[in-house]
Structures are given as C-alpha cells and as structure tokens.
Structure 1
C-alpha cells in the first residue's frame, strides 16, 4: 500500500506520462472489482435472462470506486508521511513522480462522481435503495485511509474490504439482475469476502514493520508476523473447503470445483511470506494473494456458466 524500494539519491524524476496516471489507479487491484461483478452476474444466469447494460454499468461503477479508493489511499498516505522516496510498492506517485496532491484528490472525487451517475442508471433499472448502499460503500472507500481514524489504521481493514469489495459487490450484481437475494448467492459469496480480506492482510504483512513505526494497529501487527501468515493460510484453506462443502451438500454444481486450479497461487503466496522477510522480497507473495482472489472468482464464475449450459 505504501512501501516501494527506491534508494537512489538522485533527484526525483518528474514523469507525467500516461503510465503514471495508469499506475495511480493501481491496476493490479482492479481485478478485485471485476471478479465479484462477474460472479454475481454468473449466479443470476440460472434465475433470469441477463441484462447486459446493468452488468456493464455495475462493472464500471465498481472499477471507478476501486480506482478512486486507491487514489484516496495515495493522497492520505502522502499527507500522513507514509509515502517517501524509500517506499516499497506501486504507490508514491506524488513523492516520486511529482503529481500534485490536490490533483490526485480531485481525480478521485471526479471518479466518484462518474460512479454516482452510473449508479443512477443502475437504480433506475432496479431499486433506489441501492443508492443508499452505494453511498455507504463510497464512504467506506474514502474512510479506509481518510477521516480522523482511518480504517487502515485499525484491525478492521480486512473485514471492511472483504465485505464491501467482495460480498456486497457480488450480492448487488446478483440483485440488479434478479430483483432478489437468495441463500445460495450469499453462500457462494462468502469465499470472496474472505479472499478480498486476504489481499489486505497480505499487504499488511508486507508493511508490518513500517506500519508499526507509524502507529498503525493493523491485524498483522496485533497477531505478529507468524500469526498473520498462519491466518492468511487459514483464510485460503477455509475458502477452498467452503466450496467443497457446498458441492458435497448439493448447493452448487461440481463444476465449481474448478477453483482448485487456483491452489498453486495460494500456496505460492503462503510460501513467499514464510521464506521472505524483506518487504521487496515479499512483493511476489502479495501479488500471488491478489491473483488467487481473481482466479478463484473467475473459476467460480466459469463453473456456474458451464454448469448452466451443460
């Protein structure tokens, strides 16, 4: 979130090319917004004919909110002194590339505004109650690093991220297609709740020492490095076991067992954190955690589509 090794003593290179603006969105996190929308839509395929316009609108809104949240994170990490030349990660566009803090904040607010316009279309074709839910979700994105007590500074970051970026996106995507929420849609959403939270936990494991110096009280800090890695492994295990149980109980199609193909990424993530203690060396493990969530969600969606059409 806020650490990218940059030890050069030379002046910071000011780069305002499109790549800097693209990196500002933290593109590797955007798949965390795409996979839940696809999964919620895939769950709806057995119940109703899919509305392509609503799917696209939901996808756009989710991506915009995720990108804006990343920009708020960039802005407030800079304002609080967490991002420096010696940081590790993809953040730090302000300190390394010379982007103006006010510009980053303004862009985040503009993306929120576009997401709200998209939300009007979604509500007009489903329910206006979703407007309230959308506003709460946007507030959570802002308050993750903004506000007097940022969620990122507490042990609740994983739960908040998992709920809003995993469970809730899936259920909203399902609801706007079907007009209802089913027990199955909730049960199938739970692993995404866990795995999105795992992305935040992996981030906090990597940043543990730096976060402790800045007074954060993340879950990784409270549990300690070993305990946090153990929890991460448990989150992976519980997600796969949950799918197996649902298949065994006949709640979902055996085709959803395709999620097993994402296991190597989960194993690589845990091994990477166990073997490495340097933040830079832990970057591949953090990336593997995010990839596990994405691939897991895509495979669940594939299993749902295959089970429906076969």
Structure 2
C-alpha cells in the first residue's frame, strides 16, 4: 500500500504500533498473577497499571517515530514497518504533540497509583516517561549508544512486573509510603519479571538485527551494531532460555505444576529462533518481530495463569 492510500486513522494506528503493545501488557499480567498467588490482588491498581503501561508504550512509539525521523536514522532504505513522520503521513509537529499528550495522560493516570504506592511510584513513573523520551530523543539518545536493550530489560521486565505487584501489595497497606513497606516487593516478584524482561528484549534484538546495516550507515550504534550478528543472536538465545528456565525455578521451589504452562510455547519459540539465527532481511525479520510479540503475550498469560490458578482453585 502506498502512503497516498493510507487514511488518517490508519496512519495514527501505524504510529501507535499496536504490535508492540504485548510488551507493555505482558508484565502487568505476570505481576497480577503473582499478586493473586500471594493474596495481595487489588483490581483497581492492577487496571491502572495496565492502562498506564499501554500509554507509556504508545508515547514511546510516538517519540521514536518523531526523533528517529528528525535525526535521520529513518530513511527510504529502512526495512522496518512504515514510520509516519519519515514517510510524511503525519506531520512531525503533530506526532510530537501526540507524544506529549500521551505521556501527560499517563502521568495523570499515574496520580492514582502515586496515591496508592507513594514515592516509589513517583520515581518509577517519571523515570519510565523520561526513559521513553530519551531512548531516541534528548542530547544523549541512549538507544544510539547500545543501551536500548538494557532499557527494555529493566523497564519492560523488572520494573513493570515488580511495580505491578508492588502497587497491589501497597494498596492493602492503605498508606502513602515514602519507601517500600515491608513485604510489598518480595524476591519472587523480581524473579518472576525475568521472562517478560528477556522476551521483551528479544523484540528489540530482532528489530535491531533487521536495521543493523541502515543503523550503521546513519551512525546509530545499537547493541546489534556493536555486537554484530553472531553475538546478538547469542543474546537472543540467552534471553529466550531464561524465559523458560524461570517457570521451572518456580516449580522446583514450591509452585504448582501449572506454573510450567509457558513451556507449551517452546516449539513456537524454537521456530522463531530458527529465523533469527539464519536471516537478516526485513522480509523474514518483520514477521519474526511480530511473532516474538505474540510469544511474549502467550508466555506471559500462561505464566500468570500458572501462578494465579492454584490460589483460586
């Protein structure tokens, strides 16, 4: 489809990049599943965490679209999905305003989570918004210097899962904590975050493997540019392996056998890995990118159910 044939609504949908939203929703599912299993489930904070995570993801997508076009990293040679700013589907100023409005809405919604979770949520919320903007914007866009993978691992894994659990546990305390109240952030929440962290990072790895040559030409030093194809693929395999080791760890440490449900997705993960290990072109890696998002969603839902169901049955 040519850019002239794209409707206004379709263009905004492309800018929001709905195929990336599993990366935002998945860790909330896992954190909520763990909260149910540990009897701290609180529906309103869980819902607010989900909507807030989706808004931050969409705002980050707008920011990447805008700043990558302004910096010149997006070009006609890029194999990835259409970027609306670079292609002229939506004006740069409009995308920038949409970015600001989306992050502002996330902050407004976050005020409820601040009321529930106190100062820790202020720190998490503001740092998440800042990280989303500074990934490709600001004086030192860290996505250009090999730090994008670390950002995704931390914010879409460790912070998102642990933060979702925390706001539900903190809601039961009914106070405005200035720091983490006792028992609101157990080690289990951090460990449970690792599969979502790994598979979310894999989304970026596939994206950067696809764009490696054009990123190099534009001067963008993503981790895939720095590591090369071989070691980026090793990173992909390590992240994938971790996602399947952690459910086994939970099972061995006392969780019911249902927690092993994510292992049902192993054949799908293996088929994706085959593509990532052998292909570099957009025709192969664009579908693989979407499949990693679907894997993340399926793995996280199964993991969340495996954690939650024993406590509900």
TM-score (norm 2): 0.90
- Compare the two structures and name the one with the higher helix fraction: 2
Match of 1:28 in 2: 19
1:32 partner SS: helix
1:213 maps to 2:217 = yes
Structure 1 CA distance, aligned partners of 2:40 and 2:276? 44
Structure 1 residue 209: Cα displacement: 0.9
Aligned residues of 1:61 and 1:119 also touching (Cα < 8 A)? yes
1:238 maps to 2:229 = no
1:281 partner SS: helix
Structure 2 CA distance, aligned partners of 1:225 and 1:77? 22
Match of 2:123 in 1: 132
Match of 1:302 in 2: 305
- Aligned pairs for 1:75-114 within 5 A: 75-114=66-105
Aligned residues of 1:37 and 1:58 also touching (Cα < 8 A)? yes
Aligned residues of 1:15 and 1:97 also touching (Cα < 8 A)? no
The unaligned stretches of length 5 or more in structure 1 are 1-5
Match of 1:262 in 2: 265
The unaligned stretches of length 5 or more in structure 2 are 171-183
Match of 1:120 in 2: 111
Aligned residues of 2:149 and 2:201 also touching (Cα < 8 A)? yes
2:117 partner SS: coil
Aligned residues of 1:16 and 1:99 also touching (Cα < 8 A)? no
- Aligned pairs for 1:1-310 within 5 A: 12-13=3-4, 15-48=6-39, 50-179=41-170, 180-250=184-254, 252-310=255-313
Aligned residues of 1:33 and 1:66 also touching (Cα < 8 A)? yes
Structure 2 CA distance, aligned partners of 1:265 and 1:41? 25
The structure, 1 or 2, with the larger RCO (C-alpha pairs under 8 Å, 6+ apart) is 2
Distance 1:175 1:154, change over 3 A: same
The alignment covers a number of residue pairs equal to: 300
Aligned residues of 1:272 and 1:284 also touching (Cα < 8 A)? no
Structure 1 residue 183: Cα displacement: 1.4
Structure 1 residue 49: Cα displacement: 5.2
Match of 2:177 in 1: none
Structure 2 CA distance, aligned partners of 1:163 and 1:49? 23
